[in-house]
Amino acid sequence: MTENGLKNKKSENISEWFSEVITKADLIDYSDVSGCMVFKPTCYEVWERIVSETDKRFKKVGIKNAYFPLFIPEKHLVKEKEHVEGFSPEVAWVTQAGDTPLQEKLAVRPTSETIMYPSYAKWIRSWRDLPLRINQWNNVVRWEFKTPVPLMRSREFLWNEGHTVFATKEEAEAERDEILGIYQDILKNYLAIYAVAGHKSQKEKFAGAEYTCSLESFLENGKAIQGPDFHHDGQNFAKAFEITFIDKEGKKQYAWQNTFAISTRMIGVMVIVHGDDKGLVLPPQIAPTQIVIIPIIKEDSRTNVLNKCEEIASQLKGFRVVVDKREEYSPGWKFNEYEMKGIPLRIELGPKDLEAGNVIVARRDNGEKNTVKFADIKKEVTLQLKSIQKNLYEKSKASFVNNTIKTNDYAELQKAIENKKIVLAPFCNDPECEDNIKSESPATTTRNSPLNAKLPKGAKCVRCKKEAKGMFYFAKTY
């Protein structure tokens, strides 16, 4: 085992490294249910901050919270399945209560359209009832894969489900940039993750949507991963669930709908994007503890050093600060522990520092140490935390940009993908062509077509050479 406590290096075995970090940094614990994990306090506090900041922004634009049942009658789920071809989640079912079989099976919520929309159909009668903009924060269960990965691909996870209804297509589509903007804000300014917004391909879009937009990020192992998403569902669900209204001219119309979500997967993405061979690296804006103060105690100066540490903590009240006064562990042991846990700033204070009137401030992101006078601590801490947040985001952005190759040549695309790059290329957006790309370059998928990307005039698909419909990112998928 290395000094920092990790057996695996990120660059050599990212999967094993990830499993080590999330447990040793005290984020999760495994449960006795395969694919279902325990969110430990640090991890859950990160999620609470995501929830709080996202929710503030939702409320500001008029989205209200509600809560719908965990259990969905089979007749409702089948109704959706019949309407949306290809939507067949591996659902967990409740079939009996005690020893009594249920008359109708109940699905454990894989997503909430089918339990929410019967209510929407009752509530919406007139154009005056629109827009209806409801969100819920909840858990969902999906038994749709064989190899679960905590945080990244678990069978139970936490998320938000935004389900909004509008009178016109134009109003519904206008919501897209507002929602994606909220998610971009959270990713950039809290999780310090760079992501590109764009349209998913026809093959990769949500089965019930007219189109899906996603935020895509790049991981150090050369794979891309989807973050928050937005689906414009058109009138598909409105027709399945009879969500209609009488318009201003007295005519009956089907409503237009959107859905959108951010999930606990983003915590896993944050771990991979920022973590290193010492463990977790937390962006200051999302970190439950931003600063740890470690007293270096000698018997003859214990009281004075501890008192000064508490005084400094008091001066830093506006930050999330912990003073580690445990004497059963050495300062070196604590340094390693807090590096593993990713605490953004560490303040060290010993007898010599006390005498000199300064502290040592160490950054987690780059390991830099500075000597800071007592009078300058608050100012310096403020600057350093802002610098760390910006540095982590800029590194995430640089990783995406520097690993992106633009090409019209299919052989070059395949070579770049094998070299763990992202490729931006013209694409026909034909599901069959995408299937061929995936079979010829295993695990390669389209990520999205950036919202601001311009397709060159006369561009041909990178593979089939038919007319290109857009510029698309390609990468191996996590």
pLDDT tens sequence across 328-367: 999 999 999 999 999 999 999 999 999 999 999 999 999 9
- Amino acid letter at 288? P
Please say which residue of 209, 239, 274 terminates a domain: 274
- What's the DSSP call for residue 454? P
Q: pTM for the complete prediction? A: 0.95
Query: 399 in a domain, yes or no?
Result: no
In this structure, are 317 and 267 located in the same domain?
no
Alpha-carbon torsion angle 69, 70, 71, 72, nearest 10: 70
Same domain, 377 and 239: no
pLDDT in tens, 381-412: 999 999 999 999 999 999 999 999 999 999 99
Is the pLDDT at 143 greater than 90? The verdict is: no
Do 358 and 461 share a domain, yes or no? no
Based on the domain organization, do 122 and 201 belong to the same domain? yes
Domain that holds residue 358: 291-384
Instruction: Say how far apart CA 476 and CA 478 lie, in whole Å.
Output: 7
Asked whether the beta carbons of 172 and 232 are under 8 A apart, the reply is yes
Q: 329 with 467, same domain?
A: no
From 120, 155, 144, 52, select the one nearest 258 (Cα to Cα).
Answer: 120
Q: What is the CATH number of the domain that holds 377?
A: 3.40.50.800
Token readout for 48 is 């609470």
341 and 433 in a single domain? The answer is no
- 263 domain-assigned: yes
Tens digit of pLDDT for each residue in 412-461? 999 999 999 999 999 999 999 999 999 999 999 999 999 989 999 999 99
Evaluate the omega torsion of the peptide bond into residue 283 and state whether it is cis, within 30 degrees of 0: no
Same domain, 211 and 166: yes
DSSP state of 253: E
How confident is the model at residue 284, as a pLDDT? 98
- SS3 assignment for 95-127: EEECCEEEEEEEEECCCCHHHHHHHHHHHCCEH
- Residue 241 belongs to a domain: yes
Task: Enter the tokens of residue 24.
Answer: 């040793």
Is 298 part of any domain? Answer: yes
Of the candidates 330, 327, 389, the residue with the CA atom closest to the CA atom of residue 363:
389
Return d(Cα 365, Cα 370) in angstroms, integer.
Answer: 14
Q: Are residues 312 and 269 in the same domain?
A: no
Q: How far apart are CA 391 and CA 252, in angstroms?
A: 54
Q: How many C-beta neighbours within 10 Å does residue 257 have?
A: 27
Q: How many domains are contained in the chain?
A: 3
We report the CATH number of the domain holding residue 211 as 3.30.930.10
Calpha distance 307→284 (Å, rounded) = 26
Laid out side by side, the sheet with 291-295 consists of: 321-323, 291-295, 345-349, 358-363, 369-373
In a domain, 296, yes or no: yes
Domain assignment present for residue 400? The answer is no
Q: What are the pLDDT digits (tens) for 66-124?
A: 999 999 998 888 876 655 555 556 889 999 999 999 999 999 999 999 999 999 999 99
Residue 444, in any domain of the structure: yes
pLDDT at 83: 53
Q: Is residue 112 within 8 Å of 149, Cβ to Cβ?
A: no
Cβ neighbours for 294, distance < 8 A, ≥ 6 positions apart: 324, 331, 334, 335, 338, 346, 347, 348, 349
Task: Please give the distance of CA 443 from its chain centroid, rounded to a whole number.
Answer: 21
8 Å CB contact between 358 and 293: no
Are the CB atoms for 266 and 228 separated by under 8 Å?
yes
- Specify the pairing of strand 321-323 against strand 291-295: parallel
Task: State whether 233 and 303 are in the same domain.
Answer: no
Q: Which two tokens stand for residue 163?
A: 């389900």
Please name the residues in contact with 62: beta carbons below 8 A apart, sequence gap of 6 or more: 131, 133
CATH number of the domain that residue 435 is part of: 3.30.110.30
Residue 471, classified by CB atoms within 10 Å of its CB into exposed (0-12), middle (13-18) or buried (19+), is buried
My answer on whether 332 and 432 are in the same domain is no
Q: How do beta strands 132-141 and 196-199 pair?
A: unpaired
- Per the CB < 8 A criterion, the answer to whether 243 and 127 are in contact is no
Share of residues in the chain with pLDDT > 90 (%): 91
pLDDT of 468 strictly over 70: yes
> Could you tell me if 473 and 365 lie in one domain?
no
Residue 279 lies in a domain: no
Q: Are residues 304 and 240 located together in one domain of the fold?
A: no
The single residue listed with the structure tokens 């290329």 is 425
CB-based contact 371:362 (threshold 8 Å): no
